């Protein structure tokens, strides 16, 4: 309870509210050292030098109430980004020739849908419509409904809180951070309480996805394309508040695609994948066929296709093994 914070020990506050560090940085007040962790919040603030605080324009008797107000505001902010998404509905518009798309599809958390079609057919355009929560105001005239209704304008244009997370074909980092620093920074921005455990879990899952091992001290700018995509998929699964995930051509990432999809579905995401990979396309319960910039049809994966999927997976694995042998200069 927020009201009990003044009498809580510093150690407990730091574990429960890891973002409390921001308060000390903003107020230019010394962050509690470990030998002060057994003090209560009030005891710690009372132990600070009142003269130094006055030089900074801070009244010592106000510190506790300011700290409690800060945590209250952060708690409210955290609650405001909790999505309650029960369904995503895509209502057809038109293709690039102006011909109507007579389709509609409703997706729920845990659903995986593949988007298939030749290069240039309009797969990425569909992903864009979903990301922007289109309301007939894009070239395709499609409409996107959330929980069966038109989403609020604030959801469409919010910079801070995104309903949709998109993983593009190219993943490039420009921040000079280690993998550990990147994950923790993202976790702190999401106000995650168990950031150490989340960091460990994300790294573990990223290494299950990637072909090459990632370490916590690896600079993010030094990650390969496959490692970058693996890290971002694991990060999206465990840290992102976005309940809808769009993935563009995951087969080009050099990662374990089945584990990647399973990871996102397990965390109750709605997943849409634009792909050229027949194995990945058939792994989804439904696939949207894109032609001439429009949704031509929606196909449910048949029992017969599922039965043959294992054969395709085995063949696909053989091809991947041959490719790896060729890459490393081995022999068959």
Domain tally, the chain = 2
Bridge-partner residues for 244, per DSSP? 164, 270
DSSP state of 89: E
Q: Are 262 and 234 in contact (CB under 8 A)?
A: no
User: What is the pLDDT at residue 170?
Assistant: 66
- What pLDDT score was predicted for residue 2? 62
Residue 329 in any domain: the answer is no
Q: How many CA atoms lie within 13 A of 193 on its CB side?
A: 10
If asked whether residues 62 and 18 sit together in one domain, one would say yes
In a domain, 145, yes or no: no
The pLDDT of residue 178 is 94
Query: Are 64 and 118 members of one domain?
Result: no
Contact status, residue 244 vs residue 85, Cβ threshold 8 Å: yes
Q: In the Cβ-directed half-sphere of 149, how many Cα atoms lie within 13 Å?
A: 7
Q: Do 60 and 199 have their domain in common? A: no
**Do 199 and 70 belong to one domain?**
no
Give residue 272's domain range. 110-123+157-301
Q: How far is CA 290 from the centre of its chain?
A: 26
Q: Are both 212 and 283 inside the same structural domain?
A: yes
Question: Is the domain of 169 the same as that of 64?
Answer: no
Q: What is the pTM assigned to this prediction? A: 0.70
Same domain, 60 and 193: no
**Are 63 and 119 contained in the same domain?**
no
Calculate ∠ Cα 318-323-325, nearest 5°: 95
Q: 142 lies in a domain? A: no
Confidence of residue 327 (pLDDT cuts 50, 70, 90): low
Q: Is 197 within a domain? A: yes
Statement: residue 190 has pLDDT above 80: no
Model confidence at 254, pLDDT cuts 50, 70, 90, reads: low
52 and 116 fall within a common domain:
no
CATH number at 218 reads: 3.40.50.300
Q: Kindly state whether residue 326 falls inside one of the protein's structural domains.
A: no
| Residue 216 sits in the same domain as residue 291 | yes
Same domain, yes or no: 161 and 263: yes
Average pLDDT, whole number, for the chain? Answer: 85
Residue 88, in any domain of the structure: no
Picking from 243, 233, 235, the residue whose alpha carbon sits closest to that of residue 108 is 243
Residues 293, 207 share a domain: yes
Of the listed ranges 58-72, 107-121, 211-225, 241-255, the one predicted with least confidence: 241-255
Band (251; pLDDT cuts 50, 70, 90)? low
Whether 63 maps to a domain, the answer reads yes
| Structure confidence at residue 219 as a pLDDT band (50, 70, 90) | very high
Residue 233 placed within a domain: yes
Query: Among 190-194, 299-303, 320-324, where is mean pLDDT lowest?
Result: 320-324
């Amino acid at each position: 309870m927020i009201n009990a914070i003044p009498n809580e020990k510093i150690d407990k506050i730091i574990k429960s509210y890891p973002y409390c560090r921001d308060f000390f940085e903003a107020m230019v007040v010394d962050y509690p050292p470990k030998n002060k962790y057994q003090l209560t919040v009030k005891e710690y603030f009372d132990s600070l030098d009142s003269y130094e605080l006055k030089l900074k324009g801070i009244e010592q008797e106000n510190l506790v109430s300011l700290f409690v107000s800060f945590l209250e505001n952060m708690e409210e902010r955290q609650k405001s980004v909790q999505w309650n998404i029960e369904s995503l509905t895509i209502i057809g518009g038109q293709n690039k020739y102006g011909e109507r798309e007579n389709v509609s599809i409703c997706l729920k958390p845990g659903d995986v849908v593949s988007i298939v079609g030749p290069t240039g057919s309009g797969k990425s355009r569909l992903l864009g419509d979903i990301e922007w929560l289109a309301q007939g105001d894009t070239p395709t005239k499609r409409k996107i409904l959330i929980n069966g209704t038109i989403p609020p304008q604030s959801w469409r244009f919010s910079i801070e809180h995104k309903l949709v997370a998109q993983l593009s074909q190219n993943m490039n980092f420009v921040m000079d951070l280690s993998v550990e620093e990147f994950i923790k920074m993202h976790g702190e921005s999401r106000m995650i309480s168990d950031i150490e455990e989340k960091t460990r879990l994300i790294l573990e899952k990223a290494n299950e996805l990637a072909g090459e091992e990632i370490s916590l001290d690896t600079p993010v700018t030094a990650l390969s394309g496959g490692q970058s995509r693996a890290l971002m998929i694991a990060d999206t699964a465990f840290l992102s508040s976005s309940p809808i995930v769009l993935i563009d051509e995951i087969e080009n990432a050099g990662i374990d695609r089945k584990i990647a999809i399973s990871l996102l579905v397990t965390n109750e995401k709605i997943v849409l994948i634009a792909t050229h990979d027949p194995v990945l396309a058939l792994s989804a319960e439904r696939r949207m066929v894109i032609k001439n910039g429009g949704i031509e049809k929606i196909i449910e994966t048949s029992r017969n296709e599922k039965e043959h999927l294992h054969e395709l997976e085995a063949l696909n694995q053989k091809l991947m093994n041959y490719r790896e042998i060729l890459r490393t200069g081995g022999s068959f």
